[in-house]
Amino acid sequence: MSVLLDVQDLQTRFQVRKGYVYAVNGVSFQLDQGDTLAVVGESGCGKSVTMLSLVRLLPPAASIENGQVLLRGEDLLQLNLRQLRDVRGGEIGMIFQDPMTSLNPFINIGTQMAEPLIYHRGMSKSEALARSAELLGMVGIPDGEARLREYPHQFSGGMRQRVMIAMSMSCEPAVLIADEPTTALDVTIQAQIVELVKELRDRSGVAVIWITHDLSVVAGIADRVIVMYAGYIVEEAPVDALFEDPRHPYTVGLMGALPSLAGETGTRLTTIGGSPPDLVDLPDFCPFHPRCPYAIDRCRKENPMLEPVIDASDGGHRAACWVDIREVELEAGAAAGSV
Amino acid sequence: MSQTDSSNRAPLVRVENLTKHFSVRIGAYGETKATVHALDEVSFDVRRGETLGLVGESGCGKSTAGLTLLQLHRPTSGKVYFEEKEVTGLSEKEMRPLRRRMQIIFQDPYSTLSPRMTIGNAIGEPLWLHELASGREAQERISRLLNDVGLNPAFAFRYPHEFSGGQRQRVCIARALACEPEFIVCDEPISALDVSIQAQIINLLQDLQEEYDLTYLFIAHDLAVVRHISDRVAVMYLGRVVEMAPKERLFDNPLHPYTNALLLSVPVPNPRQERQREHIVIQGNVPSAISPPSGCRFHPRCPLAFEPCDHVVPEWREAEPGHWVACHAV
């Protein structure tokens, strides 16, 4: 498979009163055609800002300081707004977390859905509406023609998310960025949406970037996973390798913190003590070390680079950690910190 | 910690046919009156020292169940017993001494603490209101409570905005513990928190339960969390409890088709299993509680629905000892 999207050393920061918040600090990754990449991390780790930076959908306080975003070799960061508009919604489709606020409540669904088709595909209004009705059917909303005349409040949360998906896929994008698309939804609806995106992906061959904080969802949908912490990628791996052989202490901590539907109960969850750092300074140490049970002296002095792990079961497994955590036996309970 | 065998313990809280309807106005100008059937004929008990998990999707009435149980909503009908004493119908004044013993922790630690009150005062308020302690003694109690929930006692003079979500939830827990309750309704206490912080709060709740012999009604939508923390679990759908059983039974051998569908909807954090697992996705949406389906409320989405389901309300019965279910098909 060929590389579709190549992101190099992306840095985004926000201007705040006292200086800057360093949200994305040198993120590089590649996305192959038809691949699904999951981006995992807790709130404030920079996962959304990274992906919004790709299409420069950032608030005014944010600025991209460095980096390249090559879509089929063309740097999106160098495009002017007019050119970028053809990419947004055309080459790169987006689904956002909250389907309640991403649709305009004053405009009926049909008009909203037709807009990108008219703009990007040059369809007439009636062609666009006919296509929109088909798209609604494709995402599992029956009776599309009638529903096009309805307004967002007449749809449930899951249905609105289906509408968003239909819109984002309407211009057959090469990349679909889904920013926590199921977080606001109930678990049965989440399962429906995940299945829908998988089906659309398999049918259309779109490459998907799925941003989430939920590792369990990742297991079912991703080919590869990026774990982010404090604006850095701390681990990147094929999905099986990540779950079976996680190498960064943060990834290990996230997995231990996850209660599951199988396995032992009555055990304590391992926790990651403390909370994520403020990003007001660029650290010259590992940003995770204050919470890390494996931390050694070097972690306090140098920030590790993302490098291939030793004895990887799979190529493309990289982690940013000074310690080979397989060689360290933790004292019992050492991972269970508190504030 | 989890009491796996709580079956022979006496109920601390018992709910009988609890019903709560809300009157609302619908239509563009509020011209039509309607009734939201938030809670219909719900019965369960919470035994001393156990954790009863209450799960369901949004709008199923699980929070209403918690609030009505505490008499924070007046029930439309039905009864609530605390230590076999009926509390429904008590006046607010009669209720006051019981309120000390029944507390609640809410979902959103950002909106439950007054931004203008130091957290020491927030935690101390129940002490003063219930006249449990004052002056120096109160300060000492506040320090101890902060310590118990894993916060530095010196934080008592700080304001909520200085804390993260997880720390605020710890403050809320300390506040609920202040008046030494026996029973705490935990209404989605971890849903607003990040995964790594969720685990901290879950562990804290379990430690405190052991230390203070607390009884929890743990309301959540996350099945994995409920499985982890509960002894028994009740599943709600659209205002009714559809199944209740000890957790091993419920998760290993669910009887109600809705419980089964819920369990199959939960993603498994293991890529290999997840690829092999059958993905039966439950169709459709939860109907409106304003006009709930007749008969069994799950019948329009149910794969097992047959003749009586659309007009006969299934009886709430004990299918196996300790395993309650409301379904015609089992």
Say yes or no to pLDDT of A264 above 80. no
Quote the DSSP letter at residue B274: H
**Cβ contact, residue pair B195, A254, below 8 Å:** yes
Q: Which whole number is the average pLDDT over B251-276?
A: 89
Sheet holding B77-82, edge to edge: B32-47, B11-26, B77-82, B85-86
- On whether any CB of chain A is under 8 Å from the CB of B6, the answer is no
Res A334: pLDDT: 46
Q: What is the DSSP string of B104-135?
A: EE-S-TTTSS-TTS-HHHHHHHHHHHTTS--H
A187 vs B contacts (CB less than 8 Å): 57, 221-223, 262, 265-266
Res A338: pLDDT: 34
Res A265: pLDDT: 66
Gyration radius of chain A over CA positions:
21
Amino acid at position B295, single letter: G
Say yes or no to pLDDT of A261 above 80. no
The predicted-structure confidence for A86-118, as pLDDT tens digits, reads as follows 999 899 999 988 777 889 999 999 999 999 999
Q: Which whole number is the average pLDDT over B248-256?
A: 94
Could you tell me what percent of chain B has a pLDDT over 90?
66
A219 vs B contacts (CB less than 8 Å): 267-271, 273-274
Angle (deg, nearest 10), helices A125-138 and A109-121:
110
Name the least confident of A169-178, B14-23, B280-289.
B280-289
**Cβ contact, residue pair B202, A259, below 8 Å:** yes
Amino acid at position A285, single letter: F
Angle (deg, nearest 10), helices A187-204 and B257-265:
50
Distance CA(B145)–CA(B123), nearest Å, equals 8
**Cβ contact, residue pair A42, B196, below 8 Å:** yes
User: What does DSSP say about strands B11-26 and A74-75: parallel, antiparallel, or unpaired?
Assistant: unpaired
Name the least confident of A169-173, A182-186, B134-138.
A182-186
What's the mean pLDDT when you consider all of chain B?
90
Contact A147, A79 (CB under 8 A): no
| Nearest Cα residue in chain B from A243 | B270
Three-state DSSP class for residue A48: helix
Quote the DSSP letter at residue A88: B
Q: Tokens at residue B179, please?
A: 């008046």
pLDDT interval class at A337 (50, 70, 90):
very low
What's the mean pLDDT when you consider all of chain A?
89
Instruction: Identify the residue among B194, B201, B250 best suited for mutation to test binding to A, counting A beta carbons within 10 A and taking the highest.
Output: B194
Res B4: pLDDT: 47
Question: Closest partner residue to B271 among A186, A213, A219, by Cβ?
Answer: A219
Contact B131, B109 (CB under 8 A): no
**Cβ contact, residue pair A190, B265, below 8 Å:** yes
The predicted-structure confidence for B305-315, as pLDDT tens digits, reads as follows 998 999 999 99
**In sequence order, which residues have a C-beta less than 8 Å from that of residue A112 and are 6 or more positions away?**
A103, A104, A163, A167
Distance CA(B50)–CA(B2), nearest Å, equals 7
pLDDT interval class at B1 (50, 70, 90):
very low
Say yes or no to pLDDT of B286 above 60. yes
Quote the DSSP letter at residue B29: T
The predicted-structure confidence for A196-249, as pLDDT tens digits, reads as follows 999 999 999 999 999 998 888 899 899 999 999 999 999 999 999 999 999 999
The predicted-structure confidence for A57-71, as pLDDT tens digits, reads as follows 999 999 999 999 999
- End-to-end Cα separation, chain A, in angstroms: 46
**In sequence order, which residues have a C-beta less than 8 Å from that of residue A88 and are 6 or more positions away?**
A55, A57, A94
Say yes or no to pLDDT of B171 above 80. yes
The predicted-structure confidence for A292-311, as pLDDT tens digits, reads as follows 999 999 999 999 999 999 88
The predicted-structure confidence for B188-218, as pLDDT tens digits, reads as follows 998 888 888 888 899 999 999 999 999 999 9
The predicted-structure confidence for B38-81, as pLDDT tens digits, reads as follows 999 999 999 999 999 999 988 889 999 999 999 999 999 999 99
- Shortest distance, CA B269 to any CA of chain A (angstroms): 4
Res A339: pLDDT: 31
Q: Which whole number is the average pLDDT over B87-116?
A: 91
- Shortest distance, CA A118 to any CA of chain B (angstroms): 31
Amino acid at position A55, single letter: V
Instruction: State how far the alpha carbon of A99 is from the alpha carbons of A89, A105, A182, A257, A322, in Å.
Output: 17, 11, 9, 28, 41
Nearest Cα residue to A12 out of A50, A44, A51, A60: A50
- Shortest distance, CA A184 to any CA of chain B (angstroms): 10
Distance CA(A235)–CA(A242), nearest Å, equals 8
What ranges make up the beta strands (E) of chain B? 11-26, 32-47, 51-55, 77-82, 85-86, 102-105, 183-187, 215-220, 232-237, 240-246, 317-320, 323-325
**Cβ contact, residue pair A219, B268, below 8 Å:** yes
Contact B203, A269 (CB under 8 A): yes
Res A273: pLDDT: 79
List the 189-248 stretch of A: residues with Cβ below 8 A of B.
189-192, 194-195, 213-220, 222, 239-240, 243
Distance CA(B244)–CA(B324), nearest Å, equals 5
The predicted-structure confidence for B118-142, as pLDDT tens digits, reads as follows 999 999 999 999 989 888 999 999 9
Say yes or no to pLDDT of B223 above 70. yes
Instruction: Identify the residue among B58, B119, B148, B195 best suited for mutation to test binding to A, counting A beta carbons within 10 A and taking the highest.
Output: B195
Buried residues in B136-153 as b, exposed as e (16+ CB within 10 A): eebbebbbebbebbbbee
Say yes or no to pLDDT of B267 above 90. no
pTM across the whole model:
0.84
Angle (deg, nearest 10), helices B165-177 and B195-212:
20
Q: Which whole number is the average pLDDT over B293-307?
A: 91
Query: Phi/psi zone of residue A61: left (φ > 0), alpha (ψ -120 to 50 degrees), beta?
Result: alpha
Res A333: pLDDT: 45
Three-state DSSP class for residue A7: strand
- On whether any CB of chain B is under 8 Å from the CB of A271, the answer is yes
Distance CA(B223)–CA(B230), nearest Å, equals 10
Res A278: pLDDT: 81
